[in-house]
Structure 1
C-alpha cells in the first residue's frame, strides 16, 4: 500500500513538472488582470525597482493593448528606462509614444523628458557636443510648440545650459587651433561662435581673439 501511495505521489510530481515545462504555468501569469499589472508596475516604480516596473508595464501593454491603462503603461516604460539611465531605450520609447499618440495631453511632458535624456548625457566642453546639440533641438521644439506649458518654462533653463556648453565647445576647439597656429581655422571658429552664440561669455572672448587671428594671417601673407 505504501508503494502504491509513493507511486501516486511520483506521478503527480511528474505531471506538475510537465505542466511547467509545457508553459502551462505561464497561463496563470497571463491571468493577471490589467488592474493588477498596473498595480505591480506602479508599486515597483515607486520603490525604485524600475526593471520590475518595465516588466509589469510591458506585460500590461502586450496582454491588454486596448485597456484604458495601455497608453499609461507605454509612458511609464519610457520613464522607467530614463530612471535606469538607459537613455537610448528611453528616447526610443518617448519618441514612439509621441508618434503613436500625437494629440495626447502628455506630449509636452514626453518632449521634455526626451530632451532630458540627451541633457543628462552632456559632458565637459572637450567632449562630443552631440548631447548638448540634440537636447537644445528638443527643448527648442518644446518651447516653440507648447509655449504655455510648464515644461517649456523648465526647458528654458536647460536651453541656457546647452548654449553655454556648445559655446564652450566651440571656444575649446578654436583655442586649440590658435595654439597650434592654424589661424584660419581658428578665425572661422571664433567668428562662428560670435555669430551663433552672441549672448554667451564665450562669444565675448571670441571677439577679443578674432583680431589676433587676423594679425597672424596678415603676417603670413607678408612672409609669403
Structure 2
C-alpha cells in the first residue's frame, strides 16, 4: 500500500514539474512582431521627399520596399525609374545599370523609357570617364574602356529611337566627348605598339581610328602613326597613301620621323583642351543632375 502511494506521489510530482517547465517556456516566448506595412502612396511620397533632400540611400530603401510589396501598384513603374536615378546619385553604378536595363526590358514602350536609356548611358559615362583619363602613363594595351563603349551605345540607341527626346541634346554632346576619348585611347595603344616596334599592330590601330573615329583630333595622329609604321615595315605604297591623305586633309607635310613628336604635342594639347560636357544640360533634366 505504501509502495503504491509512493508511485502515485512521484507521478503527480512529474506532472507538476512538467507543467512548471512549460509555463516557464511560454512566459519567455516573445510575441510575434507585426510589421507596419505602409500604403503605397505613403512609401512613394516618402521616397520622393528623400530624393529631393538628397538622401538617396534612405530613398532607395523606400523604393525597394515598393518594388517588393506593390509590384503592380499605381506608382510601380515610376518608382522603378526613380530607383535607377537614386542608384545613380548614390554612386551604385552596377545597380543603376541593372535597374535601367530591367526597366527597358519590361517596359520598352513606356512614355519615359528614353529616360532609362539616358540614365543607363550617364551611369556608364561617369563610371568610365575617370578611368580613361588614368590610362596615360600606363600599359595601354592592357586597358579596355568597355564602360565608355557601353555609354556610347546607350546614348546612340536613345538618339536613334527618340531623336526628339528632351535628353537628346545632352546625349549628342556626350557622344562627341566619348568618341574623342575612345579615339585617344586607340592612339595610346598604337603609340604603345610603336614603342615596342610592333609596327603592324600600330598601323592597324591607326587605320582603325581613321575608319571609325572620323572628325576627331586623333585622326591626324593616326595617319602619322600609319606613315611611320608602314615605312618601318617596308610597305612604302601604304606609307605613301597615308601620307597623301594626311597632307590632303591637314595640309602639312609631316614625315614619319616627326610623327612621335607630333603625337606628344597633340596629347599635351588635347589634355588641356578636351571640354567637359556643358552644364546647360541640367536645364534639360529639370535640374536633377546639377
TM-score by length of 2: 0.65
How far off its partner does 1:98 sit?
1.2
**Separation in structure 1 between the aligned mates of residue 173 and residue 148 of structure 2, nearest angstrom:** 13
User: Counterparts of 1:63 and 1:132 in 2: how far apart (Å)?
Assistant: 36
Query: 1:200 corresponds to which residue?
Result: 216
The answer to whether the aligner puts 1:34 opposite 2:40 as a matched pair is yes
Q: Which residue of the partner structure matches residue 23 of structure 1?
A: 33
Instruction: Tell me by how many angstroms 1:209 deviates.
Output: 2.2
Gaps of 5+ in 2: 1-26, 136-142, 236-290
Which residue in 2 is equivalent to 1:85?
A: 91
Write the deviation string for residues 32-74 of structure 1: whole angstroms up to 9, x where unpaired. 1111111111111111211111111122222223321111111
Shift of 1:124: 2.5
In 1, Cα distance between the equivalents of 2:91 and 2:229? 43
Q: Deviations over 1:174-203 (max 9, x none)?
A: 001111111111111111111111211111
Matched with 2:59 is 53
Choose 203-212 or 88-97, whichever is displaced more. Answer: 203-212
Which residue number corresponds to residue 124 of structure 1? Answer: 132
Structure of higher CA gyration radius: 2
Q: Is 1:188 aligned with 2:188? A: no
* Correspondence for 1:165: 181
Which sections of structure 1, spanning at least 5 residues, go unmatched? 1-13, 220-224
Structure with higher helix content: 1
